[in-house]
Amino acid sequence: MKNLQYYLKKAQKEKWAIGQFNFSDLSQLEGIIEAAKKLKSPIILGTSEGESRFLGLKQAVALKEAYQSEIGLPVFLNLDHGKSFEYLRKAIGIGYDMVHFDGSRLPLKDNIAETKEVVRCAKKAGVLTEGEVGVIGTDASKLYEGKFILKPEDLTNPKESEQYIKETGVDGLAVSIGNFHGVSIKGNPKLDTERLKQIRKLIKESFLVLHGGSGIKKQDIKKAIKLGIVKININTELRLAYTKTLKKALQINPKETTPYKYLPSAIRAVQKVVEEKILLFGSKNKI
Ligand code: G3H
């Protein structure tokens, strides 16, 4: 099987994006895998620190490997938003394919220094790295002038990101261009595509990542891919689909106590969201 770098480079060259889909239990994972299998798409599975603590780092790797060997699909695993070197070192040692160090709230100098440590450790193990410059935020954390948007100084500074990439040697960069984690009833995130263009101009080789993929308008996603985004992270939309459907299933049949009888509709709901994203990102038939 080709490695993750191969697919990211292919996506960069052909202008499509690989989805990262987060999960914290087997039934969510089932839905994600079914979608990838059906549409023959490479995918990245994501676990945040919290998700991987709930599931277990070893267990996440074992699940990924089990599906990889069973279905023969390019399925990769990323440790998402790791805040400490120690935790990322564990994930690297255990068999994650990629680790994302989120030092975005640190001063640039410290972010660079800590990222370098992670990159050094990951490179030895042949693991890819993702870093972050600029604060991404969540739907609720950035109420600014009555709107859920980020302040200009929170966004990724193109010059700083160029310096960050040069000094750290990180493989990929998560950008803050108006995207935020979660979905907001107050409106979709508005992407600063001009800023993305400037970042791409300065960062030619490294792959660019769009976090907070939930709730971004289809046309904005397409534009971001055209401008060089090759990895898009989705979590909230999967959680919403899973939880809403599961609640409904239990409400309809409150006496049901057999998980394999009440879980399938929630699994299918996750599958549906992932299929839509794969089609939008253009990763169908790219294995
Ligand atoms: O790293 C995870 C993502 O960026 C998820 O964002 O919950 O808005 O889809 P989302």
CATH number of the structural domain spanning residue 99: 3.20.20.70
Q: Is the pLDDT of residue 85 over 60?
A: yes
Q: Is residue 97 annotated as a catalytic residue, yes or no?
A: no
Query: Left, alpha or beta for 118 (phi > 0: left; psi -120 to 50: alpha)?
Result: alpha
Q: Is the pLDDT of residue 146 over 90?
A: no
Give the containing element (helix H, strand E) for 224.
Answer: helix 218-226
Asked whether the CA dihedral 60, 62, 63, 69 is positive or negative, the reply is positive
Q: Is the pLDDT of residue 48 over 70?
A: yes
User: Nearest Cα to 272, choosing from 17, 21, 1, 4?
Assistant: 21
- From 100, 231, 236, the mutation candidate for ligand 1 (largest count of ligand atoms within 8 A of CB) is 236
pLDDT in tens, 234-270: 999 999 999 999 999 999 999 999 999 999 999 999 9
Task: Say what the pLDDT of residue 140 is.
Answer: 47
pLDDT in tens, 187-203: 677 899 999 999 999 99
Residue 76 belongs to what domain range?
4-281
Which burial class, exposed, middle or buried, applies to 86 when counting CB atoms under 10 A from its CB (0-12, 13-18, 19+)?
exposed
The answer to whether the beta carbons of residues 118 and 88 sit under 8 Å apart is yes
How far, in Å, is the centroid of ligand 1 from the Cα of 255?
Answer: 34
**230 falls within a domain:** yes
**Lowest-pLDDT choice from 25-29, 73-77, 136-140:** 136-140
Give the atom of ligand 1 at the shortest distance from the alpha carbon of 213. 9
**262 falls within a domain:** yes
Ligand 1 close to Cβ of residue 104 (< 6 A): no
**287 falls within a domain:** no
How far, in Å, is the centroid of ligand 1 from the Cα of 181?
Answer: 5
**142 falls within a domain:** yes
Total domains present in the chain: 1
- Mean pLDDT computed over 213-228: 95
3-state secondary structure of 2: coil
d(CA 56, CA 49): 10
**286 falls within a domain:** no
**271 falls within a domain:** yes
> Which pTM does this prediction carry?
0.95
**131 falls within a domain:** yes
**76 falls within a domain:** yes
